[in-house]
């Protein structure tokens, strides 16, 4: 007896590759940020890379909203409600991160305490 059930028909998970790539970029960014401190001569470059990652992620969300979710909603109204709520949460997080980036960029002596938070 097998616990692995065959799929009723073949399907392609078009979400997997892009999300895998985004997760990789986010994990690499997390490692980079975790190693940063106020004395890091590459801090400005790291913050610029974080902004680029946020822009890439925001662009991905916009594409999903405009293309993927529109197609899903046309076929199954209401199917993307939870996805849209998750996207709104992501967008709010992007704004929070941008605010923190600006605070770090304009911080004086308290820069280390902001990076440790």
What pLDDT does 7 receive? 64
Q: How far is it, in rounded angstroms, from Cα 30 to Cα 17?
A: 20
Q: What is the pLDDT of residues 64-89, one digit of tens each?
A: 999 999 999 999 999 999 999 999 99
Q: How far is it, in rounded angstroms, from Cα 48 to Cα 8?
A: 46
φ/ψ of 27, rounded to 5, equals: -65, -40
- Check whether 22 has a pLDDT greater than 90: yes
pTM above 0.95, yes or no: no
């Amino acid at each position: 007896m097998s616990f692995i059930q065959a799929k009723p028909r073949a399907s392609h998970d078009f979400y997997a590759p892009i999300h895998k790539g985004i997760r990789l970029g986010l994990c690499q960014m997390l490692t980079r940020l975790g190693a940063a401190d106020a004395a890091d001569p590459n801090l400005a470059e790291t913050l610029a890379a974080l902004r680029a990652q946020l822009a890439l992620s925001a662009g991905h969300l916009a594409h999903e909203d405009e293309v993927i979710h529109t197609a899903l909603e046309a076929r199954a109204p209401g199917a993307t409600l939870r996805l849209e709520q998750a996207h709104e949460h992501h967008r709010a997080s992007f704004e929070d991160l941008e605010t923190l980036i600006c605070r770090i960029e304009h911080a004086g002596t308290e820069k280390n305490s902001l990076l440790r938070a």
